[in-house]
Chain A
């Protein structure tokens, strides 16, 4: 089910954003999009990976992270 795939991938994206990650890099190829997230201001006391890569395959989810990316870039200006 396409919508279920979207929800699953959107939730993964949202989770990282809520954890303080931002989109650092996007690589797209025949398999979809590989979105690299990096943690903003990593807390050295916490053992957290500072980068995470999500493989986004669903078309709506690829639109979703793109909208978040544009918003992120506007906020950074």
Chain B
């Protein structure tokens, strides 16, 4: 059995799976049940001045029979008084001293407000703080959440104010509703953040009812944008984690959040630089006990790979993530259709013909049987045919050795630029 414990900027937990600050961490009852199930940590639902919520609050996108591909909420931070939450945090930490209990915080961008809440929360023995600069709805209209998190100067300043008084590690949770998340991540580092977490939810409107023309969800016939999360956002989150992980001036640990539903998702985030992960939507969909499969799967994976500690995989794929200009233009793959597996549905043919490079031929063999064949010399290796193919193993993407050494766009442009600026004398 591998060692699954992590240490994120000094916050220790027995495994890398934490509950994200969200409805599943609203109360001591929930967090303690989660810890009983095996979760390594929990970021308490955001504390601040207790709010008022609306009804209804959630909506989801289902796609082709898959429920909750994406999830949207317009619920705000805790609606319970701080004292109530603090009492339950204290009791939870006392009962589960080995688990990470992190308090998510959100107050107005005023120094004294941050100082007050940090001191009161730390008094009950939390392991760390997470500053919510990401919540995109409701609170943002009041200058908090993502409204703060979209302005690097505010991120830096508020982080600094927290660090003036904080005794525990400070994680800054970032909004994805920004063009370049590394700008705010760097601001958090400048402000003294011990770690960053990402992503919070993405601005979204889930739909419009075709009969009533109401938004989905709606509140008495009116709607407002919510925060989008769930499996559909995972690629966006993974990219943002990776962009921060490979950024030379963002040198703090990352807690990965966004569509993580399985141990495999967690491994991907950790390989791309996350020290641990936070989960919400998958728990809202399936309950706390998904942690059993996550721990078991991660254990098996590490054992099969011969890796002693999960911390050993953190960041191992970051060096493989580059700018487009650093990719090899001479690398080539082509599609190859295995006719013994292919069911001749023509999905690949249609996709290639209509949307790619028209390099699949429909042919007939000597027995009159139709088959599909890729003209490899015309294939650009886009992967579309293998993506749309409904049969596993019917299309392989095969690497074709290049007669030329690797050549990136950046190298090519440098060569042309160098040639044109001072002609090389090869005479």
Cα distance, A75 to B415, chains bound together (Å) = 13
Query: Is the CB of A30 closer than 8 A to any CB of chain B?
Result: no
**A1-B378, A41-B427 as given contacts; A25 in contact with B405, CB under 8 Å:** no
Cα distance, A22 to B419, chains bound together (Å) = 11
Near B by CB (< 8 A), chain A positions 52-71 give 63-64, 66-67, 69-71
B residues less than 8 Å from A27 (CB atoms): 420
How many interface residues does B have (CB within 8 Å)? 21
- Name A77's closest neighbour in chain B (CB-CB): B424
Q: Are B419 and A73 in contact (CB under 8 A)?
A: yes
Q: Are B419 and A67 in contact (CB under 8 A)?
A: no
Q: Are A75 and B426 in contact (CB under 8 A)?
A: yes
- Name A42's closest neighbour in chain B (CB-CB): B427
Q: Are A25 and B404 in contact (CB under 8 A)?
A: no
Q: Are A26 and B419 in contact (CB under 8 A)?
A: yes
**A40-B427, A72-B424 as given contacts; A3 in contact with B415, CB under 8 Å:** no
Cα distance, A1 to B375, chains bound together (Å) = 11
Q: Are A70 and B427 in contact (CB under 8 A)?
A: no
Q: Are A67 and B330 in contact (CB under 8 A)?
A: yes
Q: Are B426 and A70 in contact (CB under 8 A)?
A: no
Q: Are A23 and B419 in contact (CB under 8 A)?
A: yes
Q: Are A28 and B416 in contact (CB under 8 A)?
A: yes
Q: Are A63 and B330 in contact (CB under 8 A)?
A: yes
A residues less than 8 Å from B329 (CB atoms): 63, 66
Q: Are B378 and A73 in contact (CB under 8 A)?
A: no
Q: Are B357 and A26 in contact (CB under 8 A)?
A: no
Q: Are B420 and A73 in contact (CB under 8 A)?
A: no
**A23-B419, A25-B419, A26-B419 as given contacts; A70 in contact with B424, CB under 8 Å:** no
Cβ distance B65 to chain A, nearest Cβ, rounded Å: 39
Contact string against A for B residues 376-406, beta-carbon threshold 8 Å, 1 for contact and 0 otherwise: 0110000000000000000000000000110
10 further contact pairs, Cβ within 8 A, besides A2-B378, A63-B412: A23-B419, A25-B419, A27-B420, A28-B416, A40-B426, A40-B427, A66-B407, A66-B416, A69-B416, A73-B418
Binding site for B on A (CB under 8 A): 1-3, 22-28, 40-41, 63-64, 66-67, 69-73, 75-76
Closest 6 CB pairs of A and B: A67-B404, A3-B377, A66-B412, A76-B426, A26-B416, A76-B424
